[in-house]
């Protein structure tokens, strides 16, 4: 399986204040969205899940999945560090 490594990783604050996690691939993003996301609802969250899975199946570009992940983080009010 092509894990879909990203050119620019995404680092975000976890549910534990001051703890950060860096996502480097679409596969990691999909796992976080499905198993360890602070909310389990929302349009951007749902779209991000779908896009990550589609990218892993080769249906869309991994950068599109990365952008969807960032929108899901914004929707969930998850702090993303530049």
Which of 5, 26, 6, 16 lies closest to 78 in space, CA to CA?
16
Q: What is the pLDDT of residues 10-32, one digit of tens each?
A: 999 998 888 999 999 999 999 99
Summarize pLDDT for 42-77 with one digit per residue, the tens: 999 999 999 999 999 999 999 999 999 999 999 999
Burial 32-69 (b: 16+ CB within 10 A, else e): bbeeebeeeeeebbeebbbbbbbbbeeebebeebbebb
């Amino acid at each position: 399986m092509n894990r879909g490594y990203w050119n620019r990783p995404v680092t975000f604050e976890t549910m534990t204040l001051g703890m950060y996690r860096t996502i480097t691939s679409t596969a990691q993003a999909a796992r976080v969205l499905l198993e360890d996301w602070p909310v389990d609802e929302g349009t951007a969250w749902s779209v991000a899940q779908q896009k990550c899975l589609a990218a892993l199946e080769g249906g869309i570009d991994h950068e599109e999945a990365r952008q969807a992940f960032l929108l899901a983080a914004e929707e969930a009010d998850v702090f993303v560090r530049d």
